[in-house]
């Protein structure tokens, strides 16, 4: 059994319109919601074995805040493969996860994260910023994950539900 936790990055700031999209930071709400999701991982006993996140500034900061709030001490892989990725590219990234990691937290962007969630479950569910989806796959190896090998959506948390 493999567990994939999908986390959309926290709310980003649009204060500086001259910033490249990749360089946008989190805004106040994003800085508040990311630690909430980290604490939720602890409460639900869902601490990851590995964190993989997009190379964008807002996803890296989300990963830092989640890791800090959940006392995560493992590896965080930062990759450009997740930035602006659609489901097919995200699935390719998932195939590269080490099998030693049973539970991986993937932090990325919409619309790709919603598309991946729909592809993996067969149902569309919106992911607001900092939303967390818990997926279970009946497989032994990450490379076995595909759109044909559906996941069970165990839970979907939107940050506003935790307020």
CATH superfamily of 2-162: Phosphoglycerate mutase-like (3.40.50.1240)
Contact in structure between 56 and 89 (CB atoms under 8 Å): no
Segment 95-128, tens digit of pLDDT:
999 999 999 999 999 999 999 999 999 999 999 9
Distance of CA 72 to the CA centre of its chain: 15
Q: Specify the pairing of strand 132-137 against strand 152-157.
A: antiparallel
Rounded Cα distance, 111 and 30, in Å: 18
Q: Specify the pairing of strand 50-54 against strand 76-79.
A: parallel
Contacts of 78 (CB under 8 A, 6+ apart): 53, 54, 55, 60, 63
Q: Is the pTM of this model over 0.85?
A: yes
Confidence of residue 163 (pLDDT cuts 50, 70, 90): low
Residue 161 has a pLDDT of 87
Mean residue pLDDT of the chain comes to: 94
Mean pLDDT calculated for residue range 5-29: 85
Rounded Cα distance, 161 and 147, in Å: 29
Segment 59-82, tens digit of pLDDT:
999 999 999 999 999 999 999 999
In the chain, % of residues over pLDDT 90: 85
């Amino acid at each position: 059994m493999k567990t994939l936790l999908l986390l959309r990055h926290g709310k980003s700031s649009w204060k500086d319109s001259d910033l490249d999209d990749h360089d946008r930071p989190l805004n106040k709400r994003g800085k508040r919601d990311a630690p909430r999701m980290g604490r939720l991982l602890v409460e639900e006993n869902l601490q990851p074995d590995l964190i993989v996140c997009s190379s964008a500034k807002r996803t890296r900061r989300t990963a830092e805040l989640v890791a800090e709030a959940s006392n995560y001490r493992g590896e965080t892989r930062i990759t450009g493969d997740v930035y602006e990725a659609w489901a097919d590219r995200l699935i390719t990234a998932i195939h590269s996860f080490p099998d030693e990691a049973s539970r991986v937290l993937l932090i990325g962007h919409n619309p790709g994260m919603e598309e991946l969630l729909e592809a993996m479950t067969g149902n569309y569910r919106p992911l607001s910023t900092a939303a967390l989806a818990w997926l279970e796959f009946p497989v032994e190896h990450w490379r076995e994950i595909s759109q044909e090998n559906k996941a069970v959506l165990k839970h979907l948390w939107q940050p506003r539900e935790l307020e």
